Amino acid sequence: MLFLADENVSMRLVKALRTAGHTVKDIKEEKLFGISDLRILELAVAEKRIILTHDKDFLNLSRQKLVKHSGIIVLRFSNQKSANVTAKFLSILELHSSEKFKNSLVIISDMHMEIIRTELE
């Protein structure tokens, strides 16, 4: 999958995703610190990447009727330490088809994964 990692996503997770064969563009590596969520969304749309973030603000942004995206995954684990997030997210990716995440808003927590399908026009 093609991901765009928000600046709040750990390098540990970015590296683990790359090792697992995913292509990850990292906001930190691109030196785009502090850019707006809307700019992140625009970048992800232009490159057909799925946004990976811990930021709940993307929930509201993605639900606006005029906003189109290739996918947004919001990680909301109670233990946000990078080792825990990495292990849990990688295990979820192994269990689910990548098609579930494309063009969807996905909220992942300790006990729940909610997938809200959104189609690109």
What whole-number distance in Å separates Cα of residue 29 and Cα of residue 102? 24
* Residue 119: pLDDT band with limits 50, 70, 90: low
Locus of tokens 């563009």: 25
What are the strands of the beta sheet with 50-53, ordered from one edge? Answer: 23-26, 2-5, 50-53, 72-76, 104-109, 113-117
Question: According to CATH, what is the number of the domain 2-114?
Answer: 3.40.50
Task: Please report which helix (H) or strand (E) contains residue 116, including its range.
Answer: strand 113-117
Instruction: Check pLDDT > 50 for residue 121.
Output: no
What whole-number distance in Å separates Cα of residue 79 and Cα of residue 83? 9
Domain ranges of the chain: 2-114
Give alpha helix (H) positions in 3-114: 11-19, 37-46, 57-63, 82-95
Q: What pLDDT does residue 120 have?
A: 45
Q: What pLDDT does residue 75 have?
A: 96
pTM attached to this predicted model: 0.89
Q: With contact defined as beta carbons under 8 Å apart, do 41 and 63 qualify?
A: no
> pLDDT tens across 71-111, in order?
899 999 999 999 999 999 999 998 887 778 888 889 999 88
| CA torsion through residues 98, 96, 19, 35, sign | positive
